[in-house]
Amino acid sequence: MAELMNPAPRFSLRQLAYFVAIAEAGTISEAAQRLHISQPAVSLALSDLERALKVQLCVRRKSHGITLTPTGTQVLRRARQLLRQAEDLEGEASAGEGSLTGVLSLGCFVTLAPTVLPPLLQGFSALHPGLTVDFAEATQDVLQRRLLSGELDLAVIYDMDVVPEMERAELFTMRPHILLPADHPLADRPAVSLHELAPEPMVLLDAAPSSHHALGLCHGFGVVPRVRYRPTSYEVARALVGRGMGWSILVQRPSNDRTYEGSRVVIKEIAEPVRAEAVLLAWPRAVRLNRRAEEFLRYCRDAALPTGARPEASQA
């Protein structure tokens, strides 16, 4: 006797898409505006989805939007995955084997974004003009949360404080360095010891995991820095150093030695034996990469590494 086919689900992809829109917008009315459909239609789709799944996905509060239930948070992650898989199926069925369509959601750590994202986006988009790459810049903890929640397909991050749930592929490495104002007394040296800078005020980039990395590096060599400023922006950190307000430890190395306001800064190697830090492409271990993400990973490994970020360029 032939086995019975699995029954069709009692919910639709459209209902899942409306639920994702509601969760991301925070209110049913805002989701309706983004979807360009009526508010009652969105509300009805949510109710039908909850009825089909036999769970409450969110708490509706009049004038205060919606709040996801714990079950709703889990369903949201799976809904995003199902919608992406459906998009993959549609793209593969309607396009040639070498074509990519749809949307790739990419995240990038804030300090890496200015030099890493542009060449990757330009080169990959030239190979796949039918594909849209959406990207988000954030700190590493935020990017990892968004990966695990299904909001992002991939993210470019440092190999620092990476949670065990992440799969990773190393793209290149860069050595951390000391940043000094151009007129600093030690600016003419090729390398500077952290111990020499310990008495001076430090500018600590406070964007996770940069702050943990810099402090850990200092403490590893018995140095207790005098942290004076904690900017959350990479360029603000460079500007403070450029004005002589302190020194800093950074990893990313832009080719320009000028800050936004025109002050000069200089990069100095750390005299202590520090290791090069890896830059990764990361994604959740529990998620099978779709074709768009697989092709982007292959492209990153084969080409498109930014100038100055290749391993041989970072060992100076």
pLDDT per residue, tens digit, the chain (316 aa), is 445 556 777 888 888 888 888 888 888 888 888 888 888 888 888 888 888 888 898 888 876 788 889 888 888 888 887 877 777 666 665 555 557 888 899 999 998 998 888 999 999 999 999 888 999 999 999 999 989 888 899 999 999 999 999 999 999 999 999 999 999 999 999 999 999 999 999 999 998 889 999 999 999 999 999 999 999 999 999 999 999 999 999 998 877 888 888 899 999 999 999 999 999 999 999 888 888 899 999 999 886 454 444 433 333 3
The predicted structure's pLDDT at residue 185: 96
Note whether 270 and 186 are within 8 A (CB). no
Q: Name residue 168's beta-bridge partners.
A: 282
Show me where the domains of the chain are located.
13-75, 101-173+278-315, 176-270
The predicted structure's pLDDT at residue 310: 42
Note whether 108 and 155 are within 8 A (CB). yes
Fold of 13-75: Arc Repressor Mutant, subunit A (1.10.10)
Note whether 192 and 180 are within 8 A (CB). yes
User: Cis (ω within 30 of 0) for the bond into 209?
Assistant: yes
CB atoms within 10 A of CB 70: 7
Global pTM reads 0.72
Indicate the pairing of strand 191-192 with strand 265-270.
Answer: parallel
The predicted structure's pLDDT at residue 298: 92
CA dist 66 and 63 (Å) reads 9
DSSP readout, 126-138?
A: HH-TTEEEEEEEE
Question: What's domain 176-270's superfamily in CATH?
Answer: Periplasmic binding protein-like II (3.40.190.10)
The predicted structure's pLDDT at residue 274: 95
Inter-CA distances, 13 with 8, 66, 115, Å: 12, 21, 38
The predicted structure's pLDDT at residue 66: 87
CA-wise closest residue to 107 among 81, 144, 82, 162: 144
Cβ partners under 8 Å of residue 8, min gap 6: none
CA dist 287 and 139 (Å) reads 22
Domains 13-75 and 101-173+278-315 share a fold: no
Question: What's domain 101-173+278-315's superfamily in CATH?
Answer: Periplasmic binding protein-like II (3.40.190.10)
